[in-house]
Chains A and B, each alone.
Chain A
């Protein structure tokens, strides 16, 4: 940090106090600093990612007072006194959240950069609707862009986190049918 702007502005501004992943945190930062930057730069919680900086891609999704928000659009002053949950707060005592396990098992993450935001959006959904169908899953994740998976395996991961038996049914898709082509004999000439 430079000695200029941040030091003087934090002298001027009262510290922000909020609860992040169950811990009280105090940040001496300018009040208009983005919640995303405060989480990443000041609290060193870099699990929350920046994809677009304008609330389109959802990579910076965190939960704030039980709502899903784009942390790139929240000036940190709005988070005063708030309960914030980031992806670092999903796993409890090193035990992966069922969504995290399902994403791992069902190919819900490829490059991983959208995954933290996607997990937060999915966690938000499951809290509000513990048994979502494909329509609800699609709608809940519509604000989170993934460029790798085509979303199919993400839908399946969320469905599997709810009920491992019904992942395919929930997503109306198949999971890559394998067949040895020689079983039926090639039609080659």
Chain B
């Protein structure tokens, strides 16, 4: 019908439009700012750092990122000044008419440059964060090893490319404070960022999510910035202000996935069993700390894969550079770490001349085993079963044999690749305890049953799943339950909508709140053991008459036995793991050097599948993004700026590129998840890149260890290999 209202579809009375003057250089001191006289600047509201009533800082984890650059810029496109005008078509010229003079400073563009510390661009040493994870005794294992295999693996930046660009509308008044409406994942993150910038009490800040056209992590941290900017312009101009980026600005200025470099050194015994793993994992964090520490944490905890290994050392570092700050993106460090691990498993298999399937099977974690953080696997682990299913559904062995026969005579080389992996659901370690989420259910006087949660819908199904959980737990019709508006003035803080935590963690709180509500109604309003929906609502009204508001809120409760040591990186890293085995069939054309994913099988265990159609949609969408990450999506950097910041030349998979995707769920309800659910949203992004590059290895006999892998990269190696073979 076209009636859903996204932020750009909303008009407010007397609304102006905002735009951003951005840094043209990667690093330097701001010397002067001049305004071209051909513009009548009296028509504009102009905001600089000096106009910020509170702190010039975007609050997240480390308070290092200014809301507006004051005297110094640390990356291209860093916001320096804001402009607002009643006519949005006047803003582009005005932005171009603000001239900023800089004194350039040396900039750092690679992990290696940052590690060398010749130029310090952040803190005392460029090091945004480091973790050390140790299990057993790695150093003594090398001498006992039958084989030692080393490898280095790299992943590039990836752009979210949500189809709706970032956007926000803000209003300001001295009496009611700041109100923002926008495209965002985490209303309370934006809330937390606005407060110190405006130096206002909690009751003077209100954040409302509008329909959000895709996010994938891209609207986890960045919306705090654009919300502060729009609100500053609203305060300065005295009008509501809408800021909506166009695609080029969105691509150039907003966060992306952290690039990574992962080095593996692995000791194995004679039978191909893992003896020791030493992993050096480094990410490029960009100019400010933002979420780099937590992304690095998840990368660290996923770097050893779903395997049993007695001796492990992971050194993880995140380095500052002078690119835009990298941020949250579906998988949150896990895709980088899993790409390295699963590509490395195939390298080990090749070195030991063991079938890659067999090598994995020999090393899988099982129930009762301890993983890298010595978290004991207490819930069922069915990797063998997932693997068997993946092999059967893909007809893996017969197909590989067929390809081995056909490839020598064909210019198109086909191969199959496999990836086995897990993804931890919810916040890492004690994160969920710190979040202390509050969520629940209320029944309004007009008989509406509402879920009260700050978790947002952006296409992944939050609203459907949470209302479904509430309806099922209350024993009433799904159609009778709705979500309360995602508005910090209405809903409590049930934590951010990230980390595949909504169904499992918040779903479980809603389920408990429903039981609590039923208990209240039984005790105080005479609700019988069995009841109809009408009787349920009548009981709510009796309760209201005698006790007031019909509301039931619950806080997060950790599953028993969750102990996590943040210093030693030891203990229960995640409340639950989702498990998967993926198989990719890839065809490499040795004439055009294009690699095409022809077929894809995805077998997973994600607890109970609450909504099968949406769950499969999550898996398919994640796989498509994973295919893009592996084969299409390259952020081209030029002097610190994204050079291909257009859909014309930043290429994502289209309807012609996505293969048939076969999705299988093996269900084991998880007792501490909302109606048995575990996280699902991020898992499917983890598997495709290694499965695809393993398939290319299978097809061509050449190992590629970096993504994105574009035709020119295939050409460079394959043509050289052919030339050598010919000589």
A47 to B2, Cβ gap below 8 A?
yes
Chain A residues near B56 (CB-CB < 8 A): none
Assess whether B647 is in contact with A57, with CB atoms less than 8 Å apart: yes
- Bound CA–CA A150/B652 (angstroms): 11
Instruction: Give the contacts of B175-217 with A (CB-CB under 8 A).
Output: 211-216
Within the complex, the shortest CB–CB distance from A160 to chain B, in Å, comes to 12
User: A5 and B89: CB pair below 8 A?
Assistant: yes
Which residue of A has the minimal Cβ distance to B87? A2
> Among the listed stretches A10-18, A76-84, A112-120, which one makes contact with chain B, having 4 or more residues with CB under 8 Å of it?
A112-120
Would you call B211 and A112 a contact (CB within 8 A)? yes
Please, which residues of chain A bring their CB within 8 A of the CB of B352?
none
Contacting residues, chain B, for A154 (C-beta < 8 A): 655
CB atoms of A54 and B648 under 8 A apart: yes
B621 touches A149 (CB 8 A): yes
**How large, as a class, is the contact surface on chain A?**
35 or more
Partner of B366, one of A57, A107, A188: A188
With a CB–CB cut-off of 8 A, which chain B residues contact A1?
86-87
Interface flag for B616 (CB, 8 Å): yes
Which of A46, A51, A109, A139 touches B9 (beta carbons < 8 Å)?
A46
* A86-B662 contact in complex given A56-B648, A110-B621, A145-B163, C-beta closer than 8 Å: no
The count of A-to-B residue pairs whose CB atoms sit within 8 angstroms is 218
Partner of A50, one of B4, B8, B162, B655: B8
Do residues A113 and B666 form an inter-chain contact, with CB atoms below 8 A? no
**Of B366, B459, B609, which is within 8 A of A112 by CB?**
B459
B5, A46: Cβ atoms under 8 Å? yes
Binary interface encoding of chain B residues 619-644 relative to chain A, with 1 for a CB under 8 A from any of its CBs, else 0: 11111110000000000000000000
Does chain A have a CB within 8 A of B479?
no
A47 B620 Cβ-Cβ under 8 A: no
Tell me the chain A residues, 54-80 only, with Cβ under 8 Å from chain B: 54, 56-57, 59
Which of B90, B214, B662, B665 makes the CB contact (< 8 A) with A179?
B665
Task: Give A118-143 as 1s and 0s: 1 = Cβ < 8 Å from B's Cβ atoms.
Answer: 00000000000000000001110111
Whether, in the assembled complex, B615 has its beta carbon less than 8 Å from a beta carbon of chain A, the answer is yes
Q: Assess the B624–A171 pair: CB atoms within 8 A.
A: no
Give chain A residues whose Cβ lies under 8 Å from the Cβ of B621.
110, 147-150
Q: Are A177 and B663 in contact (CB under 8 A)?
A: yes
Q: Which of B141-163 contact A (CB under 8 A)?
A: 160-163
Contact of A175 among B2, B4, B246, B616 (CB under 8 A): B616
Cβ–Cβ contact B161 & A147, under 8 A: yes
Minimum distance in angstroms from A26 CB to a CB of chain B: 21
Most buried by B among A90, A109, A150: A150
A27-57 interface bits toward B, Cβ cutoff 8 Å, 1 = contact, 0 = none: 0000000000000100001111111111011
Chain A nearest CB, measured from B725 CB (Å): 36
For residue A163, CB closer than 8 A to chain B, the reply is no
Q: B666 touching A189 by the CB < 8 A rule? A: no
- Contact indicator per residue, chain B 461-488, by CB within 8 Å of chain A (1) or not (0): 1000000000000000000000000000
User: Which A residue sits closest to B162, measured CB to CB?
Assistant: A147
- A11 → chain B, closest Cβ, in Å? 17
Instruction: State whether A176 touches B616 (Cβ < 8 A).
Output: yes
Residue of B nearest to A108 (CB): B617
**B-contact 0/1 string along A151-181, CB 8 Å cutoff:** 1111100000000000000011111111111
Q: Tell whether B715 is near chain A: CB-to-CB under 8 Å.
A: no
- A36–B367 Cα gap in the complex (Å)? 57
* B385 CB contact (under 8 Å) in A153, A178, A186: A186
Structural contact, A46 and B667, CB atoms closer than 8 A: no
Indicate if the CB atoms of A151 and B655 lie closer than 8 Å.
Answer: yes
Q: In the complex, what distance in Å separates the CA atom of A134 from the CA atom of B368?
A: 46
- A116: shortest Cβ distance to chain B, in Å? 5
| Contact, CB under 8 Å: B647 / A145 | yes
Is the beta-carbon distance between A176 and B619 smaller than 8 angstroms?
A: yes
Distance of A145 Cα from B624 Cα, bound (Å)? 12
Closest to B5 in A: A46
Contact, CB under 8 Å: A56 / B646: yes
Q: Are B380 and A54 in contact (CB under 8 A)?
A: no
Tell whether B716 is near chain A: CB-to-CB under 8 Å. Answer: no
Chain A residues whose C-beta falls within 8 Å of the C-beta of B658 in the assembled complex: 150-152
B109 within 8 A of A: no
> Contact: B624 with A116, CB < 8 Å?
no
Interface string of B243-286 (1 = CB under 8 A from A): 00011000000000000000000000000000000000000000
Residues of the A chain whose Cβ atoms lie less than 8 Å from the Cβ of B655: 137-139, 141-142, 144, 146, 151, 154-155
Given the known inter-chain contacts A46-B5, A113-B163, A152-B661, please indicate yes or no for A187 contacting B609, CB distance below 8 A. Answer: no
Q: Which residues of B contact A182 (CB under 8 A)?
A: 668
Q: Is A152 within 8 A of B211, CB to CB?
A: no
Interface membership of A24, Cβ < 8 A:
no
Flag whether B6 is at the interface (Cβ < 8 A). yes
9 additional A-B pairs beyond A47-B2, A175-B616, beta carbons within 8 Å, are A50-B8, A107-B616, A147-B162, A153-B616, A173-B660, A176-B664, A179-B664, A186-B385, A189-B368
A–B Cβ pairs within 8 angstroms, 5 of them = A45-B2, A49-B164, A107-B614, A147-B652, A150-B658
For the complex of A and B, 10 pairs with smallest distance between CB atoms: A47-B2, A176-B616, A113-B213, A111-B459, A150-B624, A110-B459, A2-B87, A150-B620, A56-B647, A46-B9
